[in-house]
Amino acid sequence: MEPLRVLELYSGIGGMHYALKESSVPAEVVAAVDVNTTANEIYKHNFPNTPLLPKTIEGMTLHDFDKLNFDVILMSPPCQPFTRIGLQGDVADPRTKSFLYILELLPRLSKRPCFILLENVKGFETSAARDALLKTLRECDYSFQEFLISPTSLGIPNSRLRYFLIAKRPPGSFSFPTSIMEGFPMCESPDSLAVPHNNPTSSECEREKSGTIIFKLETEQELGRKRIQDSRETVRRLQDFLQEDKEDMDQYLLPPKTLLRYALLMDVVQPSCRRSVCFTKGYGHYVEGTGSVLQSCVDVELETVFKNLELLSEEDKLKQLLQLKLRYFTPREIANLMGFPADFTFPKHISVKQQYRVLGNSLNIHVVSHLIRLLRVLYE
């Protein structure tokens, strides 16, 4: 069997490339395309032999694409136009321009790809960009299936609900329902693609706003939801993803100013927890809504520290909070949760802030790998 020729668009730090390697599908990345200078440095550091095109997609001509003679497109277009916390500019956002250009070129390619895999944020599924995508796929005779999947479906203790689409050209078509699936399909394959059906719905990523506040500005419903997540034995504990090397961990401790200002808003987890919230590109720089923080000192009761905290003086409040030794997850730990292998590294000159930023823009490799393996079953 000839290896599939893969074009990796919006290649970032190589999440799609790593997912392809993990899937064991016979394939070669014939080109990766991205304009982000930092991401490109990291990609080249880890994949020195892959042709990397540091240019805009709309700067490539139809002839440029045809010359690559690819069988597969893997892509993760900019998500900012579709995020719930953004302006949701959709197709009017300039960052969507390159994606619309791809849709314009697809019907005109001399050889259309056999397979397409796309990843984006939850919210893309209700966008005009997604409508344009489906219209183009139908016009080009692709069958497709859409998913909303979080890594918790694979036993990974990190909520990162994302939209995925896989598409294929004839012969054959998908046997799944055409509506958006939440989680993976239960199916038989040589690689046992079936996974536990503890898939999250969108409610897992939404905060419950009503109910009685217990402590730390959390409601009874929120605490109940977290207890349920921590009781899922099909999900691994965070401790499996933490760095064993404890050197230089002090640099990740939350500074006193941050503790005093944001303590009540942070999602605090312990190594024994089976959950963490989605890490974004602002992690380590902004606190609220960018990812969980880790309680390093587990001998101290979290509830004891936070109960009546607002009644204390600033000095006593800080003394209480410092007992927990709250720290940020390191970039390596976030990379572990996102499925990056041990041999994935950053060039030495890439700052911690830059590392957080590119990881927050990346994807979960294990999830994408499973979807690529679904395509392999169809390919064979």
User: Residues 332-374: pLDDT tens digits?
Assistant: 999 999 999 999 999 999 999 999 999 999 999 999 999 999 8
Phi, psi (deg, nearest 5) at residue 369: -60, -45
Domain range 4-200+364-379, CATH class:
alpha beta
Angle at 23 between CA 141 and CA 62, to 5 degrees: 40
**Closest-CA residue to 276 (of 308, 249, 306, 240):** 240
CA distance 70 to 100: 19
Is residue 177 pLDDT above 80, yes or no?
A: no
Amino acid at the residue 131: D
Tokens 């203790």 appear where?
Answer: 157
Sequence-distant (6+) residues with CB within 8 A of 208 are 219, 221, 222, 225
Task: Report the topology of domain 205-360.
Answer: DNA Methylase; Chain A, domain 2 (3.90.120)
pTM value?
Answer: 0.89
User: Residues 182-234: pLDDT tens digits?
Assistant: 988 864 333 334 333 334 333 333 333 445 555 566 777 777 888 888 888 88
Catalytic machinery residues: 79
The structural domains of the chain, with segments of one domain joined by +, span 4-200+364-379, 205-360
